[in-house]
Amino acid sequence: MANNLILLVLPILLALTVHISTTEIFAQTGSMFKVGAEGDYAVSIVPGASQKDNTYHYYPPRIAVPTDTTVVWLNGDIGQPHTVTSGQPGAADEGSIFNSGVMPAFPVRFFEFTFTQAGDYPYHCVIHPWRVASVSVSDAQFTGEAFDIAVGSGATWDLTKNPRVLLEITPKTAVLDGFSPIAYNVTVNDGATNKTMVSGIFTTGGDPLPLELVSGEGNETRSYGPDFSTAGAYHIQSDFKKGSSYPISVQVISFDNRLIDNPVRSTFNLQTNP
């Protein structure tokens, strides 16, 4: 019994150690930045963003997040100033919701904004206005026995509009003190085959778990994150399909490095649009 417990605890402790010891911020282009930003979700201004023919200015270009998500934009384009400005280029309301002003490129600078209202927020760079990106914000929420799960896409996930959706998973049974480590076990099943696509352990420092599902980035299933050194979104990339359903099971398996006996599980069935 004691041996089994050690076998269970060790991987969790190792995972926690890795996340706490790193001081870098991990943006989704794979670049590493040493800055003091901490938020829920990182968007990069990519190297080469000042070039008109660059595929992306911001990456990821379209995200769907629940209300009260703090998005942090990092200028990873060395030597080039950029902005993060709400609205369409040249529109009368340009910059009225958020506007970073000119972000110098060195040292790496960031801008953050917390989205408190549901809606669609296009934005652009006033210096290089040829790529419009967007943040889609929803206040949809699933209430389960052990968790509330806020869903950035709304009750169903439209893969065409938003290839990515951020879930925010808030436990009802653990104390969210913003410090004590919480380890979540999340399993995503394919509703069509009832097979498990991915099952992983994700840790936060006493916070709800921001977890993003990513489609359109290849068929390989993998998970990565968090976006920042000790906080931020984790990501599960897979071949998510239209017109399908994805049961997502969540349980808190340890709190403050202590395993929880008989953890309660909640399952949320995320549907995708045809």
- Of 19 and 82, the one with the shorter C-beta distance to Cu ion is 82
Q: Which of 121, 156, 128 is nearest to 140 (CA)?
A: 156
Please answer whether residues 95 and 113 qualify as being in contact, where contact means their C-beta atoms are separated by less than 8 angstroms. no
Binding status of residue 128 toward Cu ion by CB under 5 A: yes
Which amino acid, 33? Answer: F
**Closer residue to Cu ion in complex, CB, 83/254:** 83
Using CB under 5 A as the binding rule, whether residue 43 contacts Cu ion is answered as no
Q: What minimum distance in Å lies between the beta carbon of 57 and Cu ion?
A: 6
The binder of Cu ion chosen from 127, 140, 146, 264 (CB under 5 A): 127
**HSE of 90, CA atoms in CB hemisphere, 13 A:** 4
Handedness of CA 138, 142, 148, 151 (dihedral sign): negative
Check binding of 125 to Cu ion (CB under 5 A).
Answer: yes
Least separation in angstroms between CB 24 and Cu ion:
24
Closer by beta carbon to Cu ion, 19 or else 128: 128
Alpha-carbon torsion, ordered 214, 236, 84, 149, to 10 deg: 100
Instruction: Give the interface segment with Cu ion, choosing from 10-18, 19-27, 127-135, 216-224 (CB under 5 A).
Output: 127-135
Residue 187: count of CB within 10 angstroms of its CB: 16
Question: Which residues make up the interface to Cu ion (CB under 5 A)?
Answer: 82, 125, 127-128
